[in-house]
Amino acid sequence: MGYLIQILAMTLAGLTALVLLFTLYMALTSPIPFLYNIRSVFVRWRATLATIAGIALVVGVYVSVQAMAVGLEKSSQNTGDPRNVMIVRKGSTAESSSQVTREQFKFINYLPQIARDDKGQPLISADVVVLLSLPRKENGGEANVLLRGVSPIGMNLRPQVALVEGRWFTPGRREVVVSRRLAARFANFAVGDKFKTGGKELTVSGVMDGANTAFDSEIWMDADESRALFDRENYSSVLLRVDDPAAGKVLIDRIESDKRLPLRALPEVDYYNSQTKTAGPIKFIGYFLAMAMSVGAIFAAMNTMYASVGARTREIGTLRVLGYRRLPILASFLIEGAFLSFAGGVLGCLLSFVMHGYSIGTMSLQSYSETVFQFRITPGLVAQGLIFSVIVGIWGSLLPAIRAARLPVIVALKSL
């Protein structure tokens, strides 16, 4: 359904481009009464403002909804290190549904392609991912939150995460570090607070910042402690670092081809890029709302332009007497409608910037946990909004412009 809407939008954009090419051709080859249209816009300022405001509302809603999808995608695309390789169970769509046994982890631990630190220790970490149901701070409801059991090496493999308050957890003391964005959304997440989950009480020792990555939606604690605390026999995933891309390819090929290892290995950045399916429904909602609201906006623009043509019937007849032909008059009204809609598009994009950087949460379709991200309004999204506004203006002005161009001169001059 989403693809169908995109195809319809592309078709409409193509037809609009043809109309614009015709208008540009008329502007270059025939005299068009631009000065008359400009004055009419200011003389009828009430109708002008109503048209601009209507288009601005539609464009603002469209850009804001699409900014949600862009922000969600960027939170995953910003996650990971190109030197890291993620290993999960074959067939799993996320770490929360994956299992890596301790025997498999021991085997992977001795692969020669793994990079080592200054002490000769392999840069590899086995993580445990657990879903916790915790109360929200405001409405009293509950939501799933992803808790990651991570080792000290695993923390070093994720340099994007930084401690901003308190201290890191101490293994064996049931301490956790929560992300700053989750702390703003869930109860008992301040430093020193305690919360219960599944009959276990955990203490918040610190707050971390994930630098607009997927780690902004996680709680961290010691890996072995979390495995024992939540009765997890196996790990959820393995993260390791390689010396160079060639070594990474060799390691991935070895794991994928080993029949003893029903595991899937891929670069960490590729894994998180694949975790963006949640953005699909949001994009669909954005396109659907845009299509639905654009119909109303087109009719609103059409109504305004019809009223404008009706009020200017005698003026149009005067233009015909002065020598302006039908096609230049048609082009002038199309340009007027496109200009008003473009102005509304600019205003709508400016209004949508109020949401830029605003944090919001939704449920991930992969892990079924709370995913926190920010609205992101990009130059490409602004361009889409402006193109969308011009499309609405062109099609909202087309029929009234045709009516204006087809008015008989005598009838137009006799009108009251």
Burial of 69 (C-beta count, 10 Å sphere; 0-12/13-18/19+)? buried
Tell whether the model's pLDDT for residue 361 goes beyond 70. Answer: no
In the chain, what percentage of residues exceed pLDDT 90? 21
172-186, 220-234, 300-314: range with lowest mean pLDDT? 300-314
DSSP state letter for 334: H
DSSP 8-state class, residue 243: S
- Is the distance from CB of 364 to CB of 97 less than 8 angstroms? no
- What was the pLDDT predicted at 381? 85
* pTM over 0.85, yes/no: no
Highest mean pLDDT among 59-63, 190-194, 258-262, 325-329: 190-194
Tell whether the model's pLDDT for residue 150 goes beyond 90. yes
What residues contact residue 275 under an 8 Å CB cut-off, 6+ apart? 76, 94, 214, 364, 366, 367
**Residue whose C-alpha is closest to residue 350's, from 62, 56, 49:** 56
Which residue bears the tokens 């305690």? 194
Higher-confidence residue of 376 and 28: namely 376
Q: Report pLDDT for 363.
A: 60
C-alpha 202: how far from chain center? 33
Confidence (pLDDT) at 179: 92
Closest among 157, 162, 173 to 207, alpha carbons compared: 162
Beta strand segments in 161-217, E = 162-166, 175-179, 194-197, 200-209
Cα 335 to Cα 41, 49, 50, distances in angstroms: 12, 17, 18
Q: Is the model's pLDDT at 335 over the cut of 50?
A: yes
Alpha-carbon dihedral sign for residues 384, 387, 393, 395: negative
Q: What is the mean pLDDT of the chain?
A: 80
Higher local confidence (pLDDT), 292 or 356:
356
Are 202 and 194 spatial neighbours (Cβ–Cβ below 8 Å)? Answer: yes
